[in-house]
Structure 1
């Protein structure tokens, strides 16, 4: 007898939650039913997969090996299901991941275009940081993700979408003082104590440090969990920050006291792309990338109207 996909799915849930009760909730079965399936899986494989502890479980050496292979199998099954759903191009169910510094701005326009193209398209969106989305992509929990390049993971296919430039944001007075006496505005002239960043883990914060040539954050670190919070802080005079062009239309409307200045050429920027597992296109990637690119281009046009 061979292990079943159900048993592998139950085992992955158990390994990821560390307990039978929580795992049973995730896979929507009773705890005894899940426990029985795990025992059957251990019998089939002839090894003990988990050590039963008073408060949860711990994977054995064999269990860690089986977990790694189970995840690969489940990812391949998810990829098979995705390919079957999208044999007619961009149709069926689409599971899209988007990083937080893109999602609030790009998704409203992009989803409107997707709905206009096909009202029957079942769209599922997950907003999370790049590292979490890459894990979801590898596990087959999402079909594709929109994020900033570069991504270091292998076996990925990348379709460029837009070049999203950064502008300097702050109060009019603070921007004027910072620019005074400078013939050209360059990000590497910003000091760490002037720059407010998103919380650690956001790729935009790392990119801001990189383009400014900074090795770390300043003494006053008001790291925010969203660009909206960051913009509000800056508009009240708490410092300066870098904002991507796609956010300008929304954030300037929400913070009327915010002033913006463009940097001298070459302007710092990030490259946004549609990222997926390599292979298995089946005609859905090109139309999806085109729709996302059109939505991004509209945001860039509006950004230049806000900050010429």
Structure 2
């Protein structure tokens, strides 16, 4: 019978791959560096396989087989976590820790309203938050470091289960005195002829804005890209161009202190001028029913934010 690696050995392996440093990986696993190194060596001997290249490099370099084993270790650890999660969910649903990943074009604008609502609805739920780009959050979810994602759809995540919970329309944001402000509602086609300001590559909102205006990504001036919606708004206020903003961000105060003017946008028939907000989790997660029970609370928080009086004053 082939001896099986221990969960601790797999944790050492994954931590070393994630952090790329023996000392930091050991600290993350709450062991000494020598203990982690010995654990990796023992795993290599146990599997009769070279996981790391031996050489002068100070950072760990994984062999091709080592990289494959890291992926399988992530899957195995996620499966072990699911065993404990299944028992916990059956015993006492919506309690204990929940690690939620959220994208930066949603988090700052929704969380001030969402967090109190979740505390009222699920007082025994302990929420841990991580804000990052969709691609990195998806990696953490698949690796078992996150339980649930709140993001903008559609996104190419065929390996995850998703649930749409709310719609977030786009609004055109323009500098003062812009010629398009003469129109009470701006067709998306009219924005296609303007210098469109976007977020940097990696933000799903960038791709969604390009898709809404039917603009090719290669045709957009890469010199005018922002790292956040707040920076994007300042660029519009400075007259560098126009952009599309999610209504949720506007309701959350992204325009505060600026002279940017908003207009509703008009999409062609059969197309949506906006994005969908949704949840994503690992397929066959034992907590899927819990995640679905969160959807109405999040949806109500989104609706309350979009209908806020503050937002109605901003759209002129």
TM-score by length of 1: 0.90
Structure 1 segments of 4 or more deviating over 6 A? none
Q: Note closer, same or farther for the CA distance 1:142–1:84 as it changes in structure 2 (3 Å cut).
A: farther
Deviation at 1:105, TM superposition (A): 1.1
- Report the equivalent of 2:196: 195
User: 1:220 and 1:56 mapped to 2: Cα distance?
Assistant: 33
Residue aligning to 2:230: 228
2:264 pairs with 1:262: yes
Contact 1:188 1:211 in 2 (8 A): no
Pair 1:119 & 2:127 matched: no
Aligned pair count reads 305
Residue 279 (structure 2) aligns with: 274
Partner of 2:34: 32
Counterpart of 1:57 (choices 42, 60, 64) is 60
| Partner residue in 1 for 2:290 | 284
CA RMSD of aligned residues (A): 2.3
Q: What does 1:207-246 correspond to in 2, within 5 Å?
A: 207-216=208-217, 218-219=220-221, 221-246=223-248
Q: How does 1:18-167 map to 2 (within 5 A)?
A: 18-54=20-56, 55-87=58-90, 88-167=92-171
Name the CA distance, whole Å, in 1 between partners of 2:171 and 2:254.
Answer: 12
Task: Tell me, yes or no, if the aligned pair for 2:14 and 2:70 is still in contact at 8 Å.
Answer: yes
Give 1:307's aligned residue: 315
C-alpha displacement at 1:155, in angstroms? 3.8
Deviation at 1:270, TM superposition (A): 0.6
Structure 2 CA distance for aligned equivalents of residues 65 and 121 of structure 1: 35
Moved more, 158-167 or 253-262: 253-262
SS at match of 1:52: coil
What is the CA–CA distance in structure 1 between the aligned matches of 2:264 and 2:20, rounded to whole Å? 50
1:164 and 1:108 map into 2 onto residues whose CA distance is 17
What SS does structure 2 have at the residue aligned with 1:165? strand
* SS of equivalent to 1:262: strand
TM-superposed CA distance for 1:272, in Å, is: 0.9
Inter-CA distance 6–252: structure 2 relative to 1 (3 Å threshold): closer
Alpha-carbon deviations, 1:112-140, whole Å to 9, x = none?
A: 11111233321101111110111111111
Range with greater deviation from structure 2 (226-235 or 30-39): 226-235
Distance between the aligned counterparts of 2:184 and 2:121, measured in 1? 48
Q: How far does residue 254 in structure 1 lie from its aligned partner after superposition?
A: 1.4
| C-alpha displacement of 1:183 | 8.8
How far apart, in 1, do the equivalents of 2:231 and 2:142 lie?
Answer: 31
SS of the residue corresponding to residue 125 of structure 1 reads: strand
